[in-house]
Amino acid sequence: MSTSLARAVVGAGYYPALANHVLKNAIGEEEVRGHFVHAETTFDTSEVRRHMTVLVLTDSRLIRVHIDDGAGPESGGVPAASATVESAPLRVVTSVALTHVVVEPESFREGDVPSELVLAVGWGIHSRVDLEPATCGDESCDADHGYTGDITGDDTLARVSVIADGAKTVRALEDFTKTLQRAAGH
């Protein structure tokens, strides 16, 4: 694992020993070509939850590690975390889309940092099925017409903003995306 990746994980401050352990196992002996680390805190009505996503690019794979807070019933209320590793060969990366959101675009100049970036990577690991009851169009019909629906690729996403994450993090995602696009041939 690269030193800069390990430093970024420690700098994020979210269970760095766990994150580095999971990353080392996922990366193995491969060389890290690029990485992006994003720790985020979300606020629900009654809870504060933290999570972290780490994207790692090697010569052959895109790796996504996601770590969440969570205390399940089996923990007896003791703090717990779960870490999920997803990995896809670069050859199956079907799309890399980066959305730039800019406030007051008339003032934007070359070299400025966008207000927000959203990275979507299509890599065919997950699909989402959305179903709804089918109808025939007759409002008085009560026959069972089965279901209709869509299967949608559930891409991996990363969203950062200057307000929430800082300009340095937004620039880091932009730089990682450039490296990923070149590596995946997009």
**Domain boundaries defined on the chain:** 3-184
Distance CA 111, CA 157 (A): 24
Could you tell me the CA-to-CA distances from 71 to 86, 137, 147, 165 in Å, in that order? 22, 46, 36, 26
Name the amino acid, one letter, at 77. G
Distance CA 36, CA 174 (A): 10
Give burial (CB, 10 Å; 0-12/13-18/19+) of 54: buried
Give the model's pLDDT for residue 73.
57
Q: 104-122 pLDDT, tens per residue?
A: 999 999 999 999 999 999 8
Is the predicted pLDDT of residue 127 greater than 70, yes or no? no
Q: 60-82 pLDDT, tens per residue?
A: 999 999 998 876 556 566 788 89
**What is the average per-residue pLDDT within 126-153?**
81
Distance CA 48, CA 50 (A): 7
